Amino acid sequence: MQFPQSLSRNQLPLFDAFLASTIAVVEDPASQEDTFSEVSLRGAAGHCLTLLAPMLRELSEKDDERWLTLIAPPASLTQSWLRDAGLNRERILLLQPRSNQSPLQLAQEALKLGRSHTVVSWLHPLPQQARGQLEAAARTGKAQSLNISLG
């Protein structure tokens, strides 16, 4: 039995039914430069972390001298979780916004500096205007912005 598969999708049809209720990858089609991506994870927290681990592990091992920066990650992303998930913790910065700063502002600053190859944020919901601000900051710093929406 064959399942119809869109040519614009890279997902294997075998996993479509399983992942449809758990994960969705959304990219802004208007962006000509691949500076912004968004992943939406829904389901049990432990299951979402299991799906998130390989993505973050790959980014932490990226052949780039710059950092993988995590902006205001959820409390469940502890140092022990990072270690257990096999991430290269020597290449990761965990940043929390100061009291007078929002996670969006901190993500923009980290992107603009260009010291990170990828800046991961957990902003939910993410308005279209904020998405545009992250894209512009990523272009300035020649970086990638990845927003992870949980819930």
Q: Tens digits of per-residue pLDDT, 32-87?
A: 468 999 999 998 888 898 999 999 999 999 999 999 999 999 998 988 999 999 99
DSSP lists the bridge partners of residue 26 as: 38
Given CA atoms 106, 73, 69, 91 in this order, what sign does their dihedral have? positive
* Residue 11, in any domain of the structure: no
* Residue 46, in any domain of the structure: yes
Residue range(s) defining the domain that contains residue 140: 36-150
Q: Tens digits of per-residue pLDDT, 93-123?
A: 999 999 999 999 999 999 999 999 999 999 9
* Residue 25, in any domain of the structure: no
> Distances in Å between the alpha carbon of 27 and those of 15, 50, 88, 149?
20, 22, 26, 13
The answer to whether 41 and 48 are in contact (CB under 8 A) is yes
* Residue 103, in any domain of the structure: yes
* Residue 99, in any domain of the structure: yes
Q: Considering its fold, how many domains does the chain have in total?
A: 1
Burial of 4 (0-12, 13-18, 19+ CB in 10 A): exposed
CATH number, domain at 62? 3.40.50.300
